[in-house]
Structure 1
Amino acid sequence: MTTTLEPSTGRSADRQSPDRETVSERLLKGSVRRSYAPIVDIDWDAPLEEGKYFLPPTLLTLYGTPFWDSLTEQQRIDVSREEMANVLSVGLWFETLLDLALLHRLTEKDPAGQEAQYSLTEMGDECRHMAMFAKVIDRCGARVYRMSELNRRVLRLLPFTLHGSGLWLFALVGEEIFDAMQRRGLDDPQLQPIVSRLMRIHVTEEARHISFARDGLRRRTHTKDKREKYFLANAHGAVAILFNQWLTNPAMYRRAGLDGDQCAKIARSNPHFNAMKQEGFADLAGFLRETGFMGPIAEKGWRKAGFLP
């Protein structure tokens, strides 16, 4: 394991001409060069720094509103702690589902092949990320936000339905938006060092995962099953509404001692927060349009949720 962190964009596989096995082999070599064990790559004994935020203020959902201006500095830091815990919780449950889907897909692959080997490597990365997310939440004095019973039921079923284009589309929607947000904030001097370290580890390894998923989806740009592609290109718009609800979870404001419903309403109509969402979604939106996986219904869904201008 190395401790030198050098985030890359993970976009080099977009101009892919090599076959899937070759791309997978390249990503495997990248994993050998740059993979991390958070249990040793994060200083878990270092004290939290007084007065520092748990997410950069400019990425917080209430930032830029008159309500934000009315909060004390301690209230703002408390909100940042809960928003960090909420975002990492969403990431934790998403990566649980992605691992389950990848594991289910392995039953169709040669486990000795490069693609299967990279899938196993990615699952290992995601398992470490889940442990890291949970441990950082706890170390920062917060608690994981649990899924609802309905979401847990869906979680148990989805891995059996995610295949082909649907799997890679799901992976990109779940990975790229959070990845873009982390990249904007990981060097913020106001950020707690432990969170900054988490972000650097995550974006470094996530770059390979994004390359793998983009390559998988790009190869299905000209799929013969036009009905499946039309369905997937439009169905993901429903996820936009869920993302907006998850990012403005009323429970996180309540845990920070504020009125949860009032804060969620303010956040969802906050122009600055919508601008942050649009910036985080812009690159993925362009890729989905390029590959034909951004249908008109999906476009409306993402725009209604504030992810598109």
Structure 2
Amino acid sequence: MTSTLDPELTVSDAEDVSARLLDSVAALSYDPMQEVDWEAPLDPEQFGLNPEWSTLYGTDLWKEMTPEQRVTLTRHEVCSIMSTGIWFEMILQQMVLRDQYCSDSSSSDFQFALTEIADECRHSLMFAKACRTMGIKAYIPRRLSIELGRGFKTLAVSEAAYGGILVAEEVLDVMQRDWMRGENVLPLVRTTSKIHVVEESRHMTFARQQMRENMAGISTARRKSAALLIAIAARVIVSNMVNKDVYAAAGLDRDRAVREAKNNTHHHVMMRTSSQHLMAFLSDCGLLTKPAAAVYRTIHMV
């Protein structure tokens, strides 16, 4: 598969995009500590995320669960996803900061990159406070995933780094667009989702532009290598989104819940749907190679 990107992309293209993004930041940004009603009581009947996004929705086990168990499960699932978001946002911040090290601080690229890092710091604090408000402790990724993340943030550069960033942001973006509109979802989750969606849309635009710039004119070997690395990063991120311990927290048989979640065709369809725009972009970049697509299939993104 070959890239359809324009090989004549210039530095001014990226500068124009970043300048527009900085204007957007000035026009519309949020302070989560002020925008979220942290003191509002939590309605015991409201979910942590739209039930349709639960990993068990549509399974036999879901049908057996009490309404209280369903609410509890979705709250733990959303906190697990938020915890994974914090983990990857910390990786993201280090990669972006390294990418901009000793760059031209007068450029719009540099200034938006640092703005993105500031956004991510606020988002991480927002997610952490949301989980604490729901009375749920952070879910930590598996040890192997932590070490793989450590390696990725240290070694990934250029299109691979921004590709990994884009994967994490795109998947969560589709989910949160549903959560922010969910009438049966906690207002706390709806508001934090809205803030994240609005501000991450700028981050995704920046990541796409950085990828276009870095992909222009690269060798086939480098493109194929980046494609596989981005896919592996996606697998690590997605496989850690919902920690297996969320099922025990809802009073469920953990082993049975893990089996049913793994075979839940409804959730597989939701994941493929949420990944359509991302896969189209990666294909356009020449980054949806056969080996990469095989990795994405293991997590139901294609």
Q: Matched residue of 2:100: which SS?
A: helix
Measured at CA, do residues 116 and 19 of structure 1 come closer, stay the same or move farther in structure 2, by a change above 3 Å?
same
Q: After superposing the two structures, state which structure 1 stretch, 107-116 or 151-160, moved more.
A: 151-160
Match of 2:118 in 1: 124
**Secondary structure of the structure 1 residue equivalent to 2:197:** helix
Structure 2 Cα separation of the partners of residues 39 and 76 of structure 1: 28
Deviation at 1:241, TM superposition (A): 3.6
- The CA distance in 2 between the partners of 1:241 and 1:264, in whole Å, is 17
Higher deviation after alignment, 259-268 or 69-78: 259-268
Q: CA deviation at 1:271?
A: 0.9
Matched, 1:191 2:185: yes
Question: Could you tell me which residue of structure 1 aligns to residue 5 of structure 2?
Answer: none
Q: Is the 8 A contact 2:55 2:264 kept in 1?
A: yes
Aligned partners of 1:55 and 1:80 also within 8 Å: yes
| Partner in structure 2 of residue 270 of structure 1 | 264
Give the unaligned 5+ runs of structure 2: 1-8
DSSP-derived class of the 2:132 partner: helix
Q: 2:65 aligns with which of 66, 71, 81?
A: 71
- Residues 140-219 of structure 1 aligned to structure 2 (within 5 Å): 140-219=134-213
Provide closer, same or farther for how the CA distance between residues 257 and 284 of structure 1 changes in structure 2, counting only shifts above 3 A.
same
1:109 to 97, 103, 107: 103
Deviations 1:86-108 (A, max 9, x none): 00001010001000111111214
Show CA shifts across 1:228-268 (max 9, x none): 11111123332344345323421111222212232122111
Tell me how far apart the structure 1 counterparts of residues 11 and 179 of structure 2 sit (CA, whole Å): 33
**What CA RMSD, in Å, does the superposition of the two structures yield over aligned residues?**
1.9
What amino acid is aligned across from residue 42 of structure 1 in structure 2? Answer: V
Indicate the residue corresponding to 1:294 in structure 2: 288
1:240 and 1:307 in contact (8 A); partners too: no
Q: Which amino acid aligns with 1:277?
A: M
Hey, what's the Cα distance between the residues in 1 that align with 2:91 and 2:294?
A: 26
- Contact 1:233/1:298 (<8 A) preserved: yes
The equivalent position to 1:33 in structure 2, one of 27, 33, 39, is: 27
In structure 1, how many angstroms separate the alpha carbons of the residues matched to 2:144 and 2:237?
16
Contact 2:174 2:274 in 1 (8 A): yes
The correspondence for 1:83, drawn from 77, 80, 101, is 77
Whole-Å Cα distance in 2 between the matches of residues 298 and 153 of structure 1? 21
Amino acid at match of 2:78: M
Structure 2 length as normaliser, TM-score? 0.92
> Percent identity among equivalent residues?
32
Q: Distance in 2 between matches of 1:108 and 1:261?
A: 50
Equivalent pair of 2:239/2:299 in contact (CA under 8 Å)? no
Q: How many residues align?
A: 294
Q: Contact 2:164 / 2:234 at 8 angstroms: preserved in 1?
A: no
Contact 1:176 1:210 in 2 (8 A): yes
Query: Relative to structure 2, which stretch is displaced further, 54-63 or 247-256?
Result: 247-256
Aligned equivalent of 2:243, options 242, 246, 249: 249
Deviation track 1:22-51 (CA, whole Å, cap 9, x = no partner) reads 111110110111111101111111111231
Residue matched to 1:139: 133
Cα distance, 1:111 vs. partner?
2.0
Moved beyond 6 Å, runs of 4+: none
The question of whether the paired residues in 1 share the 8 Å contact of 2:139 and 2:243 is answered with: no
Distance 1:16 1:71 in 2: 56
1:98 aligns with 2:92: yes
Distance in 1 separating the partners of 2:218 and 2:239: 35
- Structure 1 residue runs without a partner (length 5+): 1-14
